[in-house]
Amino acid sequence: MPTAPNSALNAVLTHFHSLIVPLWQGPGWNADLALPYEALDADHQPLPPQRYRAMACARQLYLFASLIGETGAEFAEERAAALFRSLQRHFHDAEHGGWFYSIDPAGKPLDKRKDLYTHAFIIFACAHYWAKVREPLVESVLNAALEVVAQRFATGDGLYEAVLERNWSSLKSGPLQNPLMHLAEGFLATLAVRDDADVQAALLALATAMQQRFIDRQHGVMMEKPLGAVDNWFEPGHQFEWFFLLESSDVLRGTPLHASLTRAFAYAEQTGVDNVTGAVSGMLALDGTVRDGTQRIWAQAEYLRALTLRPNSEAVLQRQLRALQLRFLHEKGWNECLNDQGLVSRRDMPSTTPYHLATCYQGLIQHLG
């Protein structure tokens, strides 16, 4: 299994704990709403709020829940509790069940649709939070989110609608890769904290359906839309993210989907990663042609995390850790996006990104020590 120099790992962890986390304790926190601002500018000022998303609240709940019990993170439990309360207070739909997509800057529901991506992150965050605090109310919200996904989003074939109206009527969205991946992540987080036969069955059915409906037969890559959809593409970052989820799960390792993503990893690496700079491209056509060369920090983090489970990857892992440090992390925070020439193309720092860094660093700690 790959190892990395402890100095490099310690440097990114210090950057995370001493700079990134405090951004969301202080300037990134709207104390009036008890919610994180959606993004900070390069000087740590909140961008003028247009909305607050339930998904962003859930990701920050995960971030602070993950810190509970760590030395020097005595603040984490109080902040996680505030985020959990805000998730319910601002976003829960008391009339129809489920959670709204967003509220406006005054705290009123804005986009009232119900989307799978949001509900997947509520499952994920509540499972992790419940693992730390074991409060019955947290498990009850986890159960409610699982129930609404099973009863409202499920389409009976192992897959789930991407988005529904507020009252659960159809928008004919069909299934999309990204929310389904995060639902799998939420299911895995649930199974990590309790035995749950229904969730395990749903996870395996989802893996079977993804293999049938989203996996290109030639390269094994996970497409963003179902096979046969017009204007389809794949994202290298999502191949790496799926690979980590599958490879690290006793339930999913050895499934046909796991075999596909093991192949997809190699193809995504070959076509979507610059082997000099370590840059991960954004979007590729099936033949490997780059459709969007934007380099996003989340994709860099997912590639780095996935390499911890990839045999014979020591040199590449060390290169990628250096690339993350040199090209994306800096003394004021991080670069969210670089263009295809490696120049900063997005300077603001969204509240949703620390989730990717936290999961990446936990993968590094777990597998590298």
The residues near 258 (Cβ < 8 Å, ≥ 6 apart) are 246, 247, 252
d(CA 52, CA 200): 32
Q: What would the pLDDT profile of 40-53 be if each residue is shown by its tens digit?
A: 999 999 999 999 99
CB distance 161 to 170 below 8 Å: yes
What pLDDT is recorded for position 1? 45
What pLDDT is recorded for position 305? 98
What pLDDT is recorded for position 335? 99
Q: Which two tokens stand for residue 92?
A: 């829960």
Residue type, 215: I
Phi then psi dihedrals of residue 225, to 5 deg? -120, 165
Q: Which two tokens stand for residue 167?
A: 């009252």
Please state, as a whole number, how many other Cβ atoms lie within 10 Å of the Cβ of residue 209: 19
Any idea what the Cα angle at residue 231 is, between residues 228 and 234, rounded to 5°?
85
Q: What would the pLDDT profile of 215-249 be if each residue is shown by its tens digit?
A: 999 999 999 999 999 999 999 999 999 999 999 99
Three-state helix/strand/coil letters over the chain: CCCCCHHHHHHHHHHHHHHHHHHHHCCCEECCCCEECCEECCCCCECCCCCEEHHHHHHHHHHHHHHCCCCCCCCHHHHHHHHHHHHHHHHECCCCCCECCEECCCCCECCCCEEHHHHHHHHHHHHHHHHHHCCHHHHHHHHHHHHHHHHHHECCCCCECCEECCCCCECCCCCCHHHHHHHHHHHHHHHHHCCCHHHHHHHHHHHHHHHHHCECCCCCCECCCCCCCCCCCECHHHHHHHHHHHHCCCCCCCCHHHHHHHHHHHHHHHHHECCCCCCECCEECCCCCEEECCEEHHHHHHHHHHHCCCCCCHHHHHHHHHHHHHHHEECCEECCEECCCCCEEECCEECCHHHHHHHHHHHHHHHHC
Q: Which two tokens stand for residue 164?
A: 């529904």
Q: What would the pLDDT profile of 130-180 be if each residue is shown by its tens digit?
A: 999 999 999 999 999 999 999 999 999 999 999 999 999 999 999 999 999
What pLDDT is recorded for position 3? 52
The residues near 328 (Cβ < 8 Å, ≥ 6 apart) are 297, 300, 334, 335, 338
pLDDT tens digit at each of 369 positions of the chain = 455 557 899 999 999 999 999 999 999 999 999 999 999 999 999 999 999 999 999 999 999 999 999 999 999 999 999 999 999 999 999 999 999 999 999 999 999 999 999 999 999 999 999 999 999 999 999 999 999 999 999 999 999 999 999 999 999 999 999 999 999 999 999 999 999 999 999 999 999 999 999 999 999 999 999 999 999 999 999 999 999 999 999 999 999 999 999 999 999 999 999 999 999 999 999 999 999 999 999 999 999 999 999 999 999 999 999 999 999 999 999 999 999 999 999 999 999 999 999 999 999 999 777
CB distance 127 to 186 below 8 Å: yes
From 211, 258, 255, 261, select the one nearest 235 (Cα to Cα): 261
Residues in the chain: 369
In the chain, the domains with their CATH numbers are 1-32+220-369 (1.50.10.10), 33-213 (1.50.10.10)
What pLDDT is recorded for position 6? 79
Any idea what the Cα angle at residue 86 is, between residues 85 and 91, rounded to 5°?
120
d(CA 235, CA 286): 10
What pLDDT is recorded for position 176? 99
Residue type, 153: F
Q: Which two tokens stand for residue 265?
A: 């990893």
What pLDDT is recorded for position 368? 78
